[in-house]
A and B are shown apart, each in its own frame.
Chain A
């Protein structure tokens, strides 16, 4: 059970469908791990249903239903049924909510073709899979015990821990935790000692390394 969650506003924006695709990826990933947030999103979905019931209906075209029926009936006879690729049960990270990246990763997390950033940090870029301007999305792997150089964020950064954990100046985080950081935070995460830390990071602006590590900026642009 994770201890750090998206705030209520973020969950509401997710349920309402008004957050961006990269943000929704971070929330969806957290939901894989967190029963409480799944439950809350479910409640917030009910809110959507309740609002749909109380909305003032708009008038629709009189023949819209017949047109729809005609198209449905012609399609139902000819169109092949769309078959969705179902993940195998063993791949499902958690019941009731499937890892949203499952169908898009070439292999398991452990065997991904990680791109080496430094000796202890590597990444697997997902920016093109999400393809939303202004966002950088990646899986990051930090070796057990390794430290990410001190950095700040120009925009915001969402991190969801997929395995292992890390600590920074503000806390200790474990599998499933959802961590939101913005420009006011300066931190240097350190992976926990016992295992490599893999996390999903969603950034809406490049990181800025501070101190001596600023020489890393061009290389660690996370893009």
Chain B
């Protein structure tokens, strides 16, 4: 049964009203990450660990197609409503599993253009063994093949900045 205290409205963190960070050639918006209130504030504060990355890794209901890391729905801009809407699916699942509010975060990256990319179109079972040698894995999203996901590997997460949308 849901815990009433967990489902009651939560006070909005002050950071939710922040303006978007200024983008430069070296610092750019990448896309959206769907998660829940349980993890959102840590992610905004730059705290990444295995309980955060992949949204919720413990449940069999989630699919970590590209292994551990932070999954982002790639967007063409901060107003990309389709990419935002797709991130809402993942936020919805995180909300169901954690019993906390669904949250979609904007994801910015420093040095994104210089990062080493592995493009991969396949399932987890055939993921190349050396995928962690790259900075991120990019490829189509299962069930939503017109859209692209970027999975940042754990070693590069410190170059990300997440913000409430």
- Do A and B actually bind? no
